[in-house]
């Protein structure tokens, strides 16, 4: 198992693929993929602050409004936003919100 395969499996899992889909795409047997994905299911993807900011973005708040509400700098909010997008492989807020609904982080 290469580091590249592990990274690919993690990214496919974050994208919401099932273990069967991941196994097929990576070319590994299902048990191997299940063993690798299992710890990811138990690990919380976002910190509490990142979850709050994801909900705030989905509710239409601007970075400046989130910054004022949390009493954090605009740069700190932008850093959280960047972390959210990196963790979800999203390129913009619209994709991030769609990802949140698809993966049940937003209701």
What was the pLDDT predicted at 35?
72
What was the pLDDT predicted at 47?
84
What was the pLDDT predicted at 77?
96
Q: In angstroms, rounded to a whole number, what is the distance separating the alpha carbons of residues 85 and 90?
A: 5
What was the pLDDT predicted at 40?
56
What was the pLDDT predicted at 33?
74
CATH 1.10.3260.10 corresponds to the domain 48-102: no
Note whether 35 and 74 are within 8 A (CB): no
Mean pLDDT by 10 residues, the chain (107 residues): 67 69 78 69 74 91 93 96 91 92 81
What was the pLDDT predicted at 7?
66
Enter the pTM of the model. Answer: 0.61
What was the pLDDT predicted at 31?
79
User: In 3D, which of 1, 84, 10 has the Cα closest to residue 46?
Assistant: 84
């Amino acid at each position: 198992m290469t580091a590249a395969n592990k990274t690919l499996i993690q990214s496919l899992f974050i994208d919401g693929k099932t273990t069967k889909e991941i196994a097929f795409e990576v070319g590994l047997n299902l048990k191997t993929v299940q063993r690798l994905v299992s710890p990811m299911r138990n690990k919380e993807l976002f910190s509490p602050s990142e979850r709050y900011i994801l909900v705030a973005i989905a509710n239409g708040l601007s970075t400046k409004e989130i910054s004022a509400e949390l009493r954090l700098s605009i740069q700190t909010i932008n850093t959280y936003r960047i972390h959210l997008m990196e963790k979800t492989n999203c390129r913009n807020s619209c994709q991030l919100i769609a990802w949140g609904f698809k993966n049940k982080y937003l209701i």
